[in-house]
Amino acid sequence: MRRHLPCALMAIAVALLGRPVRAFENQWHLGAEIGGAKLLGEELGFGPRAGAYAAYGLSDVFDARFGAGAFLASRNAIETFAAADVRAASAELGLAYKLDVIEWIPYAAALAGVAWTNVAPEGTSSVTEWAPALGVELGLDYAVSRELGLGLHYRAEAWLGAGAVDGAMSLSLAAEYRWGW
């Protein structure tokens, strides 16, 4: 009996002192992000990006995601184009694969959706276009608590068939609230 006492005490200590698991299955995420973006196209500039997203933890490694973002940029005056204000937005659904479920949570997501662009050249009427969008997002989130997360997200999007804007690359800081475990 005395031989088993140290093992029993160790098991009790691990049970009492162990940290909670931070897996996020069956949990909702609602977040906002802000950062900068480079719209891809001929002579398009760098500008701000703001976005919002929602996700649901399908399992401890997969999330279903919905995200939307808005971009602002400008086109520099070049020979073939006048200077222009460029507004763009995209909305996408996707699936994220979380590489780990501890405090630091790296993930990769594949996204598909739609993009909207509005180009207003100086002195002429604006041109609005819709296009299918495909994207990839890489992120690193930090679980501050079970309910609060902070993150750094990189997103690359290709807007298929859009005339003035071919897509966007962005880097954003994010904060999210989680519930429903």
0.75 surpassed by pTM: yes
Residue type present at position 17: L
Nearest to 51 by CA among 95, 91, 86: 91
Nearest to 33 by CA among 171, 140, 156: 171
| CATH fold group of domain 23-179 | Porin (2.40.160)
Nearest to 175 by CA among 156, 154, 147, 155: 147
Total residue length of the chain: 181
What percentage of the chain has pLDDT greater than the value 70?
Answer: 78
Give the Cα separation of 107 and 62 in Å (integer).
9
The alpha carbon of 155 is separated from its chain's Cα centroid by a whole number of angstroms, namely 7
The domain limits of the chain are: 23-179
Q: What is the pLDDT of residues 60-78, one digit of tens each?
A: 899 999 999 999 887 654 4
Q: Are 44 and 71 in contact (CB under 8 A)?
A: no
Tell me what the pLDDT averaged over the chain comes to.
84
